[in-house]
Amino acid sequence: MSDRAIIHLVLSGDVEAYSRLVDRHYDRCARIAVRILGNREDAEEAIQDAFLRAFKALGDYEDRERFSAWLTRILVNQCRTVLARSKRRDSLFIDMDPADVHFAAAQDEGDGHWPELEHVLARLPAEQREAIVLKYADDLTYEEMSKITGAGESALKMRVQRAFARLRAMLSEVPSV
């Protein structure tokens, strides 16, 4: 069943049909929120708020936009809200000893899991972290990212480039030719 068909059911009064949208999009939202916010607890708060806001606003959703992109826009706004009010925000910007950073890079075993990268991500400026997460955790185009973040496409490309440069420097990686 398509997202559109499920939305029709929900708008027609079938509250439980919304669980299908939650099941379908939860993992993707978790990927984005955990990496933007840096911890599971804040991420769950943002995800819950985003799904609830999406449910209440479902009547405003327009078919010409992908539901996933619409939901992501709500989620990103919730992440920004959580980030802004979180008293733990400073704890995201942990100080890492350069020796630890070298060690962290060495721990990547090539299976896609790179826990230390998330620590280093937390040291990026928020807008760069948001841009690189949206680009690679959600496979969005720059046009979609622009609609979600409100930033221009060229600015977003610049943020992603700078994010990569910072990550590369922090992880002391030498790019392959």
Partner 1 sequence: MFDDFERRVSAALRAPVADDARARERIMQRVRRAAGEGQRPVRRGQSWQRLSRYSIIGLGLAAGLSGVSSLSALAPSASRDGGSGASVAILGDTVAATLHDTLRLVRLMFDAPSARRVAVVGDFNDWGARPTPLTRDGDRQWSVTLALHAGEHRYAFVVDETRWVPDPRDERRVRGADEHVYLLLNVARAAN
Q: Which residues bind partner 1 (CB under 8 A)?
A: 1, 8-19, 22-23, 26-27, 30-31, 34-35, 40, 43-44, 47-48, 51-52, 55-60, 108, 110, 112-114, 117, 132-133, 136-137, 139, 164, 167-168, 171, 173, 175-177
Q: Where are the alpha helices (DSSP H) in the chain?
A: 3-11, 18-37, 40-56, 67-85, 89-92, 98-106, 115-121, 126-137, 142-149, 153-170
In this structure, the number of other CB atoms found within 10 A of the CB of residue 118 comes to 14
**Shortest Å, Cβ 121 to partner 1:** 8
Nearer to partner 1, 55 or 103 (CB): 55
Closest approach, Cβ 133 to partner 1, in A, equals 6
The CA-atom distances, in angstroms, between 37 and each of 43, 65, 134 are 6, 26, 13
> Residue 177 Cβ, how far from partner 1 at the closest point, in Å?
8
Q: How far is the CB of 97 from partner 1 (least distance, A)?
A: 21
Specify the residue, 17 or 158, whose C-beta has the smaller distance to partner 1: 17
| Residues in CB range of 168: below 8 A, 6 or more apart | 175
Using the minimum distance from each CB to partner 1, give the nearer residue, 57 or 94. Answer: 57
| Paired tokens of 20 | 């299908």
